[in-house]
Structure 1
Amino acid sequence: MRRIDSAAEAVLRYRRPDPSCWETVVEAVCEGSPSWDASAALVQAGRAVAGQADRIAGSLAELLRFFVPTSGHTVQVHAFALAGLGDVRALPALRQLKAHALPFGRLHAHTLAALPAAELLPVARTMLGQVPVNYHASTFMLELLALWGPAAAPAVPEVVRILETPYAYDALRVLGRIGPAAAGTADRLAAYATGRDPRTGRNHPRRAAWAHWKVTGDPALALDVCGAAVTSGSGSHGLPFLADLGPLAAAHADTVRGLMESPGGWTRVAAAHAYWRITGDPEPAVPVLLAAVDPDWDGQPALPVQEAVLRLGEIGAPAAVAAPLLRGILAAEKRLGHPFAGRRILADGLYVRTLAEALARIDP
């Protein structure tokens, strides 16, 4: 067991562990003697266990022959390991797991997003259709549907139902990502955007107005609601949506530029991104974004480090000054110190991809 624990600790803590460590983790799980950390690592493994796919699939097939609810966690570990490889051999297990309230996290949605949307949509729709709504299943599945975007269109009826629950904010995002195929929800979105819906919360109007634009193609409501948020002192709540509107939000460019000097880090980063998207001028934005990239960041979500890296990458070549810093961060051996081992590899992997993709755009 000590060998298994040491191998699991290595893959959880380091980006480039010895390949034998991953082999030990896979062996432990497939042989039915994993530690908690080994299971947590394999769920998140992704391409790191590509060479072990057949072994994992074979072990999963054996588990499914005798599937009982108490084996749900072990089946989940195998299924997510295959899903992280985009391996459709995960699908039978995921379909069987649909009735179980598993502790999915939002980051794990990125794992399933690699699988064909059409194959998993029935599972998502079933989970979202549960009464009462299950918190973990709903937030996880809404994140997954948002990642799929237009491919999630068949689930619009279930997403609309979520508008009547405490998870409406996530549902608004999904409808916006689906786009024109969700045009039938335009009136509901307008009601949330204007506050006519009695369930409208403090943060709903901006996202609802943005979603209304995405499904209808008419930017008027989004410009009105998000523009008002930016000029009212709650700029950070409207800036991401004005950034998406781009040149359509030109009337707000001066206000947005002023927010680049905000005392709040997230507001400064959001304003820098929005200003660039609105005006096409990277010169004022790049220094603000670069200043937010802390090379010693440990994954603390209160800091907009990953967001700043993402936006520098979108700017591309004009952000070349950032390339040496990003390369240095990417070369680090230790993973981000996410507080939960069950999400550490996923969180760090997403950061690594963000860094690599930003560098590819900045300095091909």
Structure 2
Amino acid sequence: MSGLDEATKALYRYRRPEPWCWDAVVEAVCGDTYAGWDADHAVSQAGGAVAAHADLIAESLGRGSAHTDGGLTLALAGMGDLRALPVLRRLAAANQLPYDRPHARILATLPAAELLPVVLPVLRQEPERYHSSTALLELLALWGPAASPAAAEVIRHLGTAHTYDALRVLGRIGAPAVGAADRLAAYATGRGRGAGGSYPRRAAWAHWKVTGDPALALDVCGAAVRSGTASHGLPFLADLGPLAAVHTTPVRRLMESPGAWTRTYAAHAYWRITGDPEPAVPVLLAEVDPAWDGDPALPVREAVRILGEIGAPAVSAAPLLRRILAQEERLSRPWRGVRILADQAYVRTLTEALERIAPGTGAAPAPALVPAVRQRGLLVRWSK
């Protein structure tokens, strides 16, 4: 197995690989020959891990395949480097912007003011026909109020296959999207085109965020909690906080639900509504599995995030979070094309939670190791 293969495998497997591994993969991807799918995808997810190579990456744009260019552009975007913008403009003009949610999370690192002019013409196209709408709406939701210049374009996505995502964006934008209030009320009450499933809860929440009036959200989301479709109403009640005090009893009862996600969201909502962390912390801590491999059926990362929100009263969680953060191996369940990205997000969640729970006492990074390489006697710097 070549040094490049070993380096690439190490990047996907370990949180703190030897620095030469990133050097080897970046140099290969930016070189004159095709380095391989795994290497391209590793660099596209790297973000700040390859900041030392930002100039080389920027200089290499346009010299390789379209696939390689896309990966290098995402690498620059993940660092917040504006040199990604010219390529993104070309991709937008050709209707070839990245179309996966994980890609949107990378692009969200770029300032909204810089990237919105690239995104807006794409959003103005027929919503049902453009394959990147899901990713672009995810991007706008991540930007939140900074995406307010796109409110009119987002409203056009109501009544399409992208309605659910559009509701989220409008709620995140808030008051600048008040022009959608009547349509949001229609979805919240089941009168919107294609309404059903989880639409009413998200629409009612969005209606509150754009109008400032919580009545509809309290009614619709509270009814969901009482009816047994709790997981669709609890996150919105958590956002409402003390305004949802009338629903405290059913929320407290759902902390004993057989469903892990429902227990987690109920604990969050109970704490946000009452301000009392004592019953919530043990429920959340029970969901933080140190052996979690990234399986999306388990709310582990969300439980960690909420413990971080609670802060100092969740200090009993700190030793476990430090132990998880110090682990050498990345999450293994996410698809390989986003494994590094998913693990980086988990590490960031753990780090931020620890900083809020016990400031200044986070885990020191484990030594940078690439055991598989070292055991084979191949720990040498890659050269092209």
Q: Identify whether the pair has TM-score above 0.5, normalized to the shorter chain.
A: yes
| 2:26 is equivalent to residue 26 of structure 1 | yes
1:103, 1:115 → 2: CA distance? 14
What's the offset of the Cα at 1:196?
1.4
AA of the residue aligned to 1:149: G
Secondary structure, counterpart of 1:151 in structure 2: helix
Please name the residue that 2:249 is paired with: 254
Aligned residue in 2 for 1:343: 338
Bigger Cα displacement from structure 2, 331-340 vs 254-263: 331-340
State the distance in 2 between where 1:136 and 1:103 align.
9
Q: Which position in structure 1 is the counterpart of 2:163?
A: 168
For 1:31 and 1:133, locate their aligned partners in 2 and report how far apart those are by CA, in whole Å.
39
Query: Structure 1 length as normaliser, TM-score?
Result: 0.95
The Cα offsets for residues 290-336 of structure 1, whole Å up to 9 and x where unpaired, read as: 00000000000000000100000000000000000000000001110
In structure 2, the partner of 1:17 is: 17
Instruction: Give the structure with the larger helix fraction.
Output: 1
- The answer (yes or no) to whether the contact 1:128–1:137 under 8 Å persists in 2 is no
In the TM superposition, what whole-angstrom CA distance separates every residue of 1:189-226 from its partner, at most 9, and x where no partner exists? 00100111232121100000000000000000000000
Compute the displacement of 1:156 (Å).
1.2
Counterpart-to-counterpart distance in 2, 1:104 and 1:210:
26
Counterparts of 2:129 and 2:15, CA distance in 1? 34
Q: How many residues align?
A: 357
Whether the aligned pair in 2 keeps the contact of 1:269 and 1:289 (CA below 8 Å) is: yes
Q: Could you tell me which amino acid in structure 2 is paired with residue 76 of structure 1? A: G
Alpha-carbon distance in structure 2 between the residues aligned to 1:3 and 1:296: 30
1:46 aligns with 2:33: no
Identity percentage of aligned residues: 69
Q: Is the 8 A contact 2:119 2:136 kept in 1?
A: yes
Counterpart AA for 1:243? A
How far the C-alpha of 1:164 sits from its partner, in A, is 1.8
Contact 1:299 1:338 (C-alpha < 8 Å) held by counterparts: yes
Distance 1:245 1:268 in 2: 18
Verify the 8 A CA contact 1:5 1:35 in the aligned structure 2: no
Cα distance in structure 2, aligned partners of 1:134 and 1:335: 37
Of residues 63, 66, 84, the one that matches 1:90 is 84
Indicate whether 1:77 and 2:78 are aligned: no
The one-letter code matched in structure 2 to 1:130 is: Q
Amino acid at match of 1:89: R
Superposed counterparts of 1:112-261, under 5 Å: 112-131=107-126, 133-134=128-129, 136-261=131-256
Higher RCO by CA contacts (8 Å cutoff, separation 6 or greater): 2
What are the ranges of 5 or more consecutive residues in structure 1 without an aligned counterpart? none
> Residue 159 of structure 2 contacts residue 193 of structure 2 at CA under 8 Å; is this kept in 1?
no
Deviations 1:61-118 (A, max 9, x none): x53xxx9xxx432221111111111111111111111124455321222211111112
C-alpha deviation, 1:131, in angstroms: 3.0
Give the TM-score, by structure 2 length: 0.90
Deviation at 1:8, TM superposition (A): 1.1
Which residue identity does 2:323 align to in structure 1? Answer: G
Residue 134 of structure 1 deviates from its aligned partner by 4.8
Q: Provide closer, same or farther for how the CA distance between residues 104 and 5 of structure 1 changes in structure 2, counting only shifts above 3 A.
A: farther
- Structure-2 change in CA distance of 1:325 and 1:136 (3 Å): farther
Which shifted more, 162-171 or 347-356?
A: 162-171
- 8 Å Cα contact 1:5-1:37 kept in structure 2: no
Equivalent in 333, 338, 355 of residue 350 of structure 2: 355
- Unaligned runs of at least 5 residues, structure 2: 360-384
